[in-house]
Amino acid sequence: MTNKHNSIETDRYTPIDCDRHSEYELAIMHKLMLQLTWTDDSGQQHIGKVMPFDLKTRDKQEFLIGQSNDGEIHTIRLDKISHTDVTEAIKV
């Protein structure tokens, strides 16, 4: 039998380093495309380019909101991002 309470406990949000948070803020301000590796809520790993445009806090958890090249909007919990690279700056 699965205990719902235990699954919530093991997926508790872990705040990220302030420097890393600042890097995401700078990427948003300077319109930098990011190559991210992250795990979604179902445990599936994703690797892709994302243009971040916002950081949100919800239920004491922080999320990066961004759009991939195919137009899909992603809401990614910050502690689920395992790797970040800046790939390019977008010309405005």
Query: Comparing C-alpha atoms, which of 54, 52, 55, 63 is closest to residue 89?
Result: 52
| Predicted model pTM | 0.83
Provide the domain limits for residue 47: 4-89
Q: In the β-sheet with 61-68, what is the strand arrangement from edge to edge?
A: 73-77, 61-68, 45-58, 32-39, 81-89
Task: Identify the CATH number of the domain in which residue 18 sits.
Answer: 2.30.30.100
| Residue 92 binned pLDDT confidence (cut-offs 50, 70, 90) | low
Each residue of 17-61: pLDDT tens digit? 999 999 999 999 999 999 999 999 899 999 999 999 999 999 999
Please count the structural domains in the chain.
1
89 phi/psi in degrees, rounded to 5: -95, 140
Per DSSP bridges, beta strands 61-68 and 45-58 are antiparallel
